[in-house]
Structure 1
Amino acid sequence: MATDTLIGAGFSDPVFQSQASFRALLAALSEPGTRQTIDAGIVPPAGLHAATATALLTLADYETPIWLPAALRDGPAGAWLRFHCGAALVEEPRRAAFAVIDGTETAPLLADFDPGTDQFPDRSTTIIVQCEALDGGEAVTLAGPGILGSCSVAPAGLRPGFWAEVAANNAAYPLGVDLLLTHGDAVVGLPRSTHIGEAR
């Protein structure tokens, strides 16, 4: 069998590792702007950061459709997720419960994903944005639930206009998508309730 067709391992201790990862993800979304580490010891498939792969392994199952860029969907990352999560990989962003986007790519837009409905705002898409780094980029201020006063983040490798998209997403609250910014084994949460201030 060719090396590039082999599917790497998932969790070695699914209960312990998924619980620890879930706690880190919950902390990221309940304390926006704080950096959390997700270290489950897995080797992610090509194209996914360790935090991205671990988050999907923790949150996704056969009932949660995932959107990936075509290059990932049709490659090792797609095969890995189908095998370990049993998840359906969808081509239409609005059908996804979870999505992975490259922060530098111009499409799809955050508004292309499901913002939920008035009756079920919790059924919106959670988008994982893979960044070049979680610091060193354009700094913006954050405020809102889970933040004492305000804080700032400066992830690198985000497309022009990204923060305007995030601000528009917040303006639609309680509808809107929730975001997880990842790099390596680290993650920063940006729920739809987070207000985005001016870039600094």
Structure 2
Amino acid sequence: MPATLAQSDPNVPAPDAAEARDNATFLAVLSALSRPGTVHGLPDAGACPLAQALIDRECRVWTDSPHLAEVLAMTGATLVPPELADHLFLSLDSAEGVERLSRAQTGSRLYPDQGATVVAPARISQGPALDLTGPGIDGTRRLSLGGLDPQVWRVRAALNRYPQGIEMLFHDGAALVALPRSTHVTEI
């Protein structure tokens, strides 16, 4: 809601700082998903603001971070094993992380929206180059992502059989990049 409307109507509550941050984070996620492979800024760094913006008590989540598990528990979300999670917050820099990724839900042909959203740290604009194609990309877009196990892309390709698949959000400090299930990734 525009600030002018909230200021002009005393019956409309104004968002507090946390709500404004969560709204800005959510808008950054939507923008990143609609423009795959482009870097978007977040109001705060790390996975915690993403969790606070994306997760509520209706979500099933999994994380490999004890600190983030505490944040997720405060949202009222249900902590579940990776194969049951709507959202997975995990590190993808090891074989263990990739194994957990391989168990992510991919939805069904009838309900592809039930595929998981994976949130992981990465070094954006560093590391191996990837060519991206698909909706939201004019031609081909090149992206570099470092700090990931090389098997991430093989597992992602196996999980993504459009319309089924997973959405991936990579964060690096206050930077965010998204790869929707509809984005085809080619390793360079």
Interval containing the TM-score (normalised by the shorter chain): 0.7 to 0.9
With over 3 angstroms needed to count, the CA separation of the structure-2 counterparts of 1:102 and 1:66, relative to structure 1, is same
Q: Which residue is 1:145 aligned to?
A: 135
Q: 40, 58, 66: which one pairs with 2:61?
A: 66
Q: Distance in 2 between matches of 1:168 and 1:29?
A: 20
Q: For residue 32 of structure 2, what is the aligned residue in structure 1?
A: 28
Q: What is the aligned partner in structure 1 of residue 105 from structure 2?
A: 114
How many residues are paired up? 172
Identity between Structure 1 and Structure 2 (%): 32
Matched AA of 2:58: E
CA RMSD of superposed structures (Å): 1.7
Give the structure 1 partner of residue 89 of structure 2: 100
Task: Report the Cα distance in structure 2 between the residues aligned to 1:191 and 1:140, rounded to whole angstroms.
Answer: 14
Runs of at least 5 residues in structure 2 that lack an aligned partner in the other structure: 1-14
Report the Cα offset of residue 109 of structure 1.
Answer: 4.3
Q: Which of 162, 165, 181 in structure 2 is aligned with 1:176?
A: 165
User: SS of 2:169's equivalent?
Assistant: strand
**Quick one: distance in 2 between partners of 1:138 and 1:103?**
14
- SS of the equivalent of 2:70 reads helix
Q: CA deviation at 1:142?
A: 0.1
Classify the secondary structure of the residue corresponding to 2:126.
coil
Q: Which runs of 5+ in 1 are unaligned?
A: 1-10, 41-49
